Amino acid sequence: MFNNKNIFISGGTGSFGNRFIEVVVKKYKPKKIIVYSRDEYKQYIMQKKYPANKFPFMRFLLGDVRDLERLKLAMNNVDYVIHAAALKQVPSAEYNPMEYVKTNINGAENIIQASIFQKVSKVIALSTDKAANPINLYGATKLASDKIFVAANNIVGKIKTSFSVVRYGNVAGSRGSVQQLFNDLIKNNEKHLPITDKRMTRFWITLDKGVDFVIKSFLRMKGGEIFVPKIPSIKITDLAKAIGPNKKTKIIGVRSGEKIHEVMCPQESAHLTLNFKDHYVIYPSNSDKKTFYVKNSIGEKGKKVKMDFEYSSDKNKDFLSVAEIKKLNDSL
């Protein structure tokens, strides 16, 4: 799919961008990969990994998703866009709300406008379980972003740009994750691992599975879908046992804007949700072509879920055991 194509990834120096590029370079022969981010040091590190003499198709462009004109220039002749740039820390968002609005909402609109301007073929925006029934500002900005990307399909006119969203949960081992925090505390010989609430559960996905799901979503998409993978959940107490079996835990209380459990397919969207073999699809609420989404672009068929259906981390049928979490943590 990506052979001889130009690919643009915003926030390309992040955890997802690094792994996505590794996979694309290994499996495909792209014409060009454009890494767009605002961190020149991370770009410098990535440039050393992909030197121009060995990877002539790599391009590194400094820029911010808040800058529409820069995005228009950066997307020249681009075929596929992955929008991974975002401000993501839940507590930080509560104290710096307008910065999150500027990046996560205004930045999303800029990606859309630049993509339409340059007649990009397909665009996928990365989202989060925190965008479903949000109680914190970060989740609210990502919900707004999701809505904007879905609605963008209504304004393309004769231009054949398609927009979809991929929504998934916590990424194992990603920067800033609780898994990374626990590992760092153990390395520093801390006596306790902090637990916000013993009841807490989270969806859990590996970076490789996240990348694979995004690539499959490019193949599956028609435009307007929110793709949700079927992934396991974990209990935060099991995560602590797996990483620090000999460490005591300390209850510190729920952080600002934090949920006890996460949701990826809200019950309020059950009438718009389709069940596929390894994922769910939430199709647009204003769509007059509901049967259009039952069969995706590679021929897979979905079925309507029950009206009381909700895909939440605490009611998930698939939970990782302590041993499975430990094995996953040791592999990272």
Q: Where are the domains of the chain?
A: 6-169+207-230+266-310
Question: Which residue, chain included where needed, has tokens 């990826």?
Answer: 264
CB 20 within 8 A of CB 2: no
Residue from 222, 74, 104, 97 nearest 160 by CA = 222
Enter the tokens of residue 118: 């340059």
Instruction: Determine the pLDDT at residue 257.
Output: 83
- Determine the average pLDDT of the residues in 24-34: 97
Banded model confidence at residue 297, pLDDT cuts 50, 70, 90: very high
What DSSP element (H or E) covers 44? helix 40-49
Banded pLDDT at 213 (limits 50, 70, 90):
very high
What confidence score (pLDDT) does residue 191 get?
A: 87
Query: Residue 169 — φ and ψ, nearest 5°?
Result: -95, -155
Q: Is the dihedral of CA 39, 151, 97, 68 positive or negative?
A: positive
Q: What is the pLDDT of residue 263?
A: 97
Among residues 130, 142, 216, 241, the one annotated as catalytic is 130
Per-residue CA distances from 59 to 3, 22, 47, 236 (Å): 16, 14, 9, 40
Token pair, residue 242, equals: 């797996």
The yes-or-no verdict on residue 134 having pLDDT over 80 is yes
Q: ∠ at Cα 325 (194, 322), nearest 5°?
A: 80
Give 220-254 as a DSSP string: H--SS-EEEE---EEEHHHHHHHH-TT-EEEE--P
- For the question of residue 88 being annotated catalytic, the response is no
- Give the Cα separation of 177 and 130 in Å (integer): 14
Computed over every residue of the chain, the mean pLDDT equals 95
The secondary structure of residue 306, as a DSSP letter, is P
Categorize the per-residue pLDDT at 323 as very low, low, confident or very high, splitting at 50, 70 and 90. very high
Q: Rounded to whole angstroms, how far apart are CA atoms 140 and 274?
A: 24
- The fold adopted by the segment(s) 6-169+207-230+266-310 is Rossmann fold (3.40.50)
- The confidence score (pLDDT) of residue 65 equals 98
Q: Indicate the residue type of 97.
A: P
Q: What pTM does this model have?
A: 0.95
Judged by DSSP in three states, 82 sits in strand
Give pLDDT tens digits for 80-129. 999 999 999 888 999 999 999 999 999 999 999 999 999 999 999 999 99
